[in-house]
Chain A
Amino acid sequence: MADLKAQIIEQLNLQEVAPESIGDDQPLFTKEGLGLDSIDALELIVLLQQHYSIRIANPEEGPKIFHSVRTMATYITENQTVKA
Chain B
Amino acid sequence: MNSGATYITGSCIIRHNRVYLNGSLLWEADPALELPEFLRAGYDRFSGQYPKFHKMDALSKLGWLAAEVLLKDTAIAALRPEQTGMVLSNRSSSLDTDLRYYATVKDFASPALFVYTLPNIVMGEISIRHGFKGENTFFVSPAFDTALMSSYPAQLLAETPLAACICGWVEVMEQQYEVALFLVENIQRPNSILLTEAALTALYQQNNS
Contact = CB atoms under 8 A, between A and B. Distances in A.
Interface string B108-132: 1011100100000000000000000
Contacts of A12: 55, 112
A74 to B, nearest CB: 23
Interface residues of B, number: 8
A30 to B, nearest CB: 15
Contacts of B112: 12-13, 39, 42-43
B56 to A, nearest CB: 9
B51 A42 contact: no
Contacts of B189: none
B72 interface: no
Nearest to B51: A16
Contacts of B51: 14-17
A23 to B, nearest CB: 17
B54 A14 contact: yes
**Interface residue SS majority, chain B:** helix
A31 to B, nearest CB: 13
Nearest to A50: B108
Contacts of A16: 51, 54
Contacts of A42: 111-112
Interface string A3-24: 0000000001111110000000
A49 B10 CA distance: 48
Contacts of A50: 108
A62 B55 CA distance: 22
A14 B50 CA distance: 11
A73 interface: no
Contacts of A14: 51, 54
Contacts of B115: 39
Contacts of A49: 108
6 contacts: A14-B51, A15-B51, A16-B51, A42-B112, A43-B110, A50-B108
